[in-house]
Structure 1
Amino acid sequence: MDHERHPRLLEHELVAENLEGAPIYGEDNQEIGKVSHLHGSGPSAQVIVDVGGFLGFGVKHVSLNMASLDFMRDDNGHVHALTVWTKKDLEQMPEHRHH
């Protein structure tokens, strides 16, 4: 996948309606998680990511800063993100607890 030519989302597009369910890819182009939900919107939002698990079991939720994710659309208009994190990085982060 050539992410270089994918258009980046604009600031006003960084909202739950666009991002929830979006896959997140690490440096090796492997999917490392999916966006669960947001706290806030725009560049300062916290992005809650589902990591790991299989068929909904064993999923862990971690919180990432929007700034550490590069959201874009592919040729079909599907939103996804790139990050420098690896799946192992996310699995070692503290679990995000819903308040």
Structure 2
Amino acid sequence: MQIQIVILYFTNNNVLHMGDTYFSMRYPYIDLKSGASVHGYIEAHKRALLLIDEHTKIIPGHGTSSNKKELETNVLMLENTQNSVLKAIKDEKTLEGVI
């Protein structure tokens, strides 16, 4: 199953509404049971970054309004978290070891 993501970019106002694809200043809820993935969230954020500039106002699904720099930081956080967990799994760590 593929999850469809809707991100609205209001070009005249330079405002990006990301809905539940972006949780400003916190970890997102990724509904794996419905087909969502960490990789999908990361890719959605990277695509959004291609649309916007430093002056874009971002409306997240959760949290306070944001900007391009914060979204870039969020992408790095998600990538680092994903890489850390994948490495722990490769190293055959227990759930407690991953946490």
Q: TM-score, normalised by structure 1?
A: 0.28
Q: TM-score, normalised by structure 2?
A: 0.28
Higher strand share: 1
Higher helix share: 2
